[in-house]
Chain A
Amino acid sequence: MSQHKRPFSCSRSGGGGGGTTTTNSNSSGASGGSALLSPDSSSSMKKAKPLPAATCSLEKEKNGLHHHSHHFDTAAVAAARPGKEEDVMLVDQEELKPGASVPVAMTGVAANLSRKKATPPQPSAKKQLVIKFVKGKPSVPANFEEDTWATLKSAINAIFLKRRDPCDSEKLYQAVDDLCLHKMGGNLYQRVQRECEIHISRALSSLVGQSPDLVVFLSLVEKCWQDFCDQMLTIRGIALVLDRTYVKQTPNVRSLWDMGLQLFRKHLALSSEVEHKVVTGLLRLIEKERQGEAIDRTYLVYCSDLIDQGFTMLMEANRVDDLQRMYTLFQRNRPAELIAKFVDEKLRAGNKGTSEEELESMLDKVLVLFRFIQGKDVFEAFYKKDLAKRLLLGKSASIDAEKSMITKLKTECGSQFTNKLEGMFKDIELSKEINDSFKQSSQARTKLPTGIEMSVHVLTTGYWPTYPPMDVRLPHELNVYQDIFKEFYLSKYHGRRLMWQNSLGHCVLKAEFPRGKKELSVSLFQAVVLMLFNDTQRLSLQDIKDSTGIDDRELRRTLQSLACGKVRVLQKIPKGREIEDEDSFVFNEEFTAPLYRIKVNAIQMKETVEENTSTTERVFQDRQYQVDAAIVRIMKTRKVLSHTLLITELFQQLKFPIKPVDLKKRIESLIDREYLDRDKNNPQIYNYLA
């Protein structure tokens, strides 16, 4: 799950102009795709002058924490940039008039050029241009800082108030550049922070007392959030130099984007009313969804980002004790989980009315959100789980769309992230070939009874999610079929071990009801249960349990789907929605349905709460191992390292979000297991214990 800086196409979602993608351009060594930020009609800045193409790229924040930053590298900048890193000024001869204030910024120099080196003047070919060597620090006019700040302040205000500003983006960019050059970055940062705080707090406090209807309220919060994102991004774009110089050089100073987020988070939590409504509203939405009610998922997905940011603070403040564990789970993975689920829905068959283009553009939007996810490994786990289901149950709307999504993820995160997913596709394709040759094989032709169509997906462990082993006593015939296939497969592929994943199996059963013959699409477990009724009219729960050997919880779920849902192939005695210990079941003589072929195995597609919890828990467990491994690796190399340096190093190496508290826990665990110890003389230092 490494995140590479790679060129990619991105488009912005949300308020203020959907972007369209343009060509990729590599500028100043930093790779990034480019996207045209289409002007937001409400932002005055962009109205003043068409924005040049901007590069969007994901970069790891200096601490290695994932965050959402876009750097704004103007094409105008790129074009005018001199080829080398030189501290030169291109000055038109006309400008060398006495008293003219010498522009201190390098016009058209991209921010990452070093300013410290002074190089000798280059001979100029053209007569008009004189290249001047700048000796020492150019002097600045007396009110330089105040005046420059005034310009910037007015621009920032305009952005937040969605008004026109007379100054254009290039001048503002330059202004920041100037201030940074003169070591006024610190002051500038403070001032920008203050301005931002004023506006953020104003925006959020305006939510107080708004709409008692929680859904409406949430949409207001969402709008606030969208606006905030747009505005911060713009400001970030102007103050890019600040981020690249002062912020980078100063320890413990957050990037502008992070600073903004922090402020947003802080002020969101300041009003207990707002906080309470957001929390309640979101929880209610999630609850509704859990109960199977349809909610506007898109909305929840957009909000999920907010959830991630705000929830931490909100929940901590509320201290919802007994629910804390559950909601901590939410706060840590809901965004990733929700986004994965959203994609799953879109990629599943049955999405009528979505054209290919619509689907593509929706997936692109999802990718943008994906960038905001801090725990991408959680997303991967859910995505993988859902993809597996779609592939195995044949529920993909379009394999092309599936593959397109993988490609997008690959571009975003690198091939390491998508290797396993691609492996799953390979397995599916390979399985097709295997099945074809199985049909032709002697084993199939001689031993498999006619009229039985059997197809097998052969899955390479490692590519696919881990499935808990589920025992079941198959009816004799099914066992025989499995053995026939196994014989065939092992004759072709030596040295392999096949393990049947019964929970993934599904069948089509021909059923003869008094009211008409039917074909039932069922899961393997459902089939096993139903086939018991070939021999008996009535069975108790215990009987079924004994005959099938299916795990109790799974069995109840299966029986519920057969006897208590919409399609009641069996009848439960006594009637009811829940499976009780004393229940009995009979073949439903009265069964009737409009269609010939009926799907009863919808439960296989549905995920259980346990499934979700275990998916997330596995991810967290895995993270723990990764942290331990990282600590040992680092300490093994360094032998002796201070606590603070170890933490810094870990943040750089670990690709998922983690709190210092959790790192401390793992360090202490490793001390306990005698991998390291604290230095006797300096307790801030750890020693590696060989």
Chain B
Amino acid sequence: MRRSSTRKTGSALPVNPSSGSSDTYRSASSKAVSKEVERIDNLFYAYADASSGLIDPEGIESFCSDLEVDYTDVRILMLAWKMKAEKQGYFTLEEWRRGLKALHADTISKLKKSLSELEKEVARPTNFSDFYSYSFRYCLTEDKQKCIDIESACELLDLVLGFQFRPQVDKLVEYLKHQRDYKVINMDQWTSFLRFCNEINFPSLDNYDAELAWPLILDNFVEWIREKQS
């Protein structure tokens, strides 16, 4: 973990010494802001790969270890969402700045504290559906990829919906692994899973109507459950 050795604490080294010339014209608050930006940037460079200028998977791993959060933890995904990170496993400077600024965190410890607040924010219904869609897109790693394989979809479901909708998720995952009709999940189906959890009574399923516009995969899922029940 070579990057750990360059870990920054509290004070940061000045990055742009030459900017000091117009110091007198800057207000105190803007000074503070620029200090914040500096610290955020420095934090970035602590984890970024020198040649690519991005934080890559290795960097993220060490970042997570510093944060004391597992890199498979859903909170990291939430962080990525907050950053509007485009590519899974990578953070650009812009994304990093965006996320940390929004969280008002310019140090590891502040970032760590902000996580619980972030969770609450994501949990709000309007944010959550956006986060939910984001998490799917985040998994489309290849160019022009539109679907994710069943295995990954199951993992993702567990990660993002497991907390709120444990019984539905468990059942759905069981079904997805069992069925043979679909080998991949697309965005439309993904979206419908959340809608299903939100709208359909579980486990009774009494308000599910297959004649409505539910995607076929859910029709089959419901049928499968009903068959097992009878």
Contacts and interface: CB of A to CB of B under 8 A. Distances in A.
B61 interface: no
Interface in A142-163: none
B215 interface: yes
Given A664-B219, A672-B146, A683-B195, A644 B211 contact: yes
A672 B188 contact: yes
Given A671-B188, A672-B146, A672-B188, A678 B216 contact: no
Contact of B188 (A647, A668, A685): A668
A684 interface: yes
A175 to B, nearest CB: 35
A643 interface: yes
Nearest to A662: B216
A661 interface: yes
Given A672-B146, A672-B186, A672-B188, A684 B212 contact: yes
B15 interface: no
Interface string B127-165: 000000000000000000010000000000000000000
B28 interface: no
Contact of A644 (B146, B192, B212): B212
Contacts of A473: none
Given A643-B212, A660-B211, A678 B188 contact: yes
Given A661-B219, A664-B219, A672-B146, A678 B213 contact: yes
Contacts of B211: 644, 647, 660
A665 interface: yes
Contacts of A665: 216
Nearest to A677: B188
Contacts of B186: 672
Contacts of B219: 661, 664
A299 B191 CA distance: 52
Contacts of B191: 678
B98 to A, nearest CB: 25
B213 A683 contact: yes
Contacts of A647: 211
Contacts of A664: 215-216, 219
Interface in A655-681: 660-661, 664-665, 668, 671-672, 678
A686 B213 CA distance: 9
Contacts of B195: 683
Interface string B200-230: 0000000000011101100100000000000
Nearest to B192: A683
A672 B187 CA distance: 9
Contacts of A660: 211
B213 A661 contact: no
Interface string A58-100: 0000000000000000000000000000000000000000000
A643 B213 contact: yes
A644 B212 CA distance: 7
Interface in B157-198: 186, 188, 191-192, 195
A389 to B, nearest CB: 38
Interface in B86-141: none
A642 B211 CA distance: 12
Contacts of B216: 661, 664-665, 668
A671 B188 CA distance: 8
A457 B195 CA distance: 61
B208 to A, nearest CB: 13
A686 to B, nearest CB: 8
Nearest to B189: A668
A322 to B, nearest CB: 13
A661 to B, nearest CB: 7
A207 to B, nearest CB: 27
A660 B188 CA distance: 19
Interface in A221-262: none
A647 B211 CA distance: 9
A24 B188 CA distance: 54
Nearest to B147: A672
Contacts of B146: 672
Given A664-B219, A672-B146, A684 B213 contact: yes
Given A678-B188, A683-B195, A668 B215 contact: yes
A642 B213 CA distance: 8
A646 to B, nearest CB: 9
Interface string A612-653: 000000000000000000000000000000111001000000
A458 B216 CA distance: 47
B13 to A, nearest CB: 48
A462 B186 CA distance: 38
A672 B186 CA distance: 8
Nearest to A679: B213
Contacts of B215: 664, 668
A665 B219 CA distance: 11
Nearest to B199: A683
A660 B213 CA distance: 11
Q: Which of A643, A660, A664, A685 has the most CB of B within 10 A?
A: A664
A671 B195 CA distance: 17
A644 B192 CA distance: 18
A642 B192 CA distance: 17
A85 B72 CA distance: 76
A664 B215 CA distance: 7
Nearest to B216: A664
A675 to B, nearest CB: 13
A634 to B, nearest CB: 15
Contacts of A668: 188, 215-216
Contacts of B213: 642-643, 678, 683-686
A331 B213 CA distance: 27
A324 to B, nearest CB: 13
Nearest to A671: B188
A640 to B, nearest CB: 13
Contacts of A642: 213
Nearest to A646: B213
Nearest to A686: B213
A685 B212 CA distance: 10
Contacts of A672: 146, 186, 188
Nearest to A682: B213
A290 to B, nearest CB: 29
Contacts of A686: 213
Nearest to B188: A671
Contacts of A661: 216, 219
A665 B216 CA distance: 7
A683 to B, nearest CB: 6
Contacts of A685: 213
Q: Which of B188, B191, B195, B213 has the most CB of A within 10 A?
A: B213
Nearest to B213: A643
A684 B195 CA distance: 12
B40 to A, nearest CB: 34
8 contacts: A643-B213, A644-B211, A661-B219, A664-B215, A664-B216, A668-B188, A678-B188, A683-B195
Interface of A: 642-644, 647, 660-661, 664-665, 668, 671-672, 678, 683-686
Shortest beta-carbon contacts, A-B, top 4: A643-B213, A684-B213, A664-B216, A671-B188
Interface of B: 146, 186, 188, 191-192, 195, 211-213, 215-216, 219
Given A668-B188, A672-B186, A683-B213, 12 more contacts: A643-B212, A643-B213, A644-B212, A664-B216, A664-B219, A668-B215, A668-B216, A671-B188, A678-B213, A683-B192, A683-B195, A686-B213
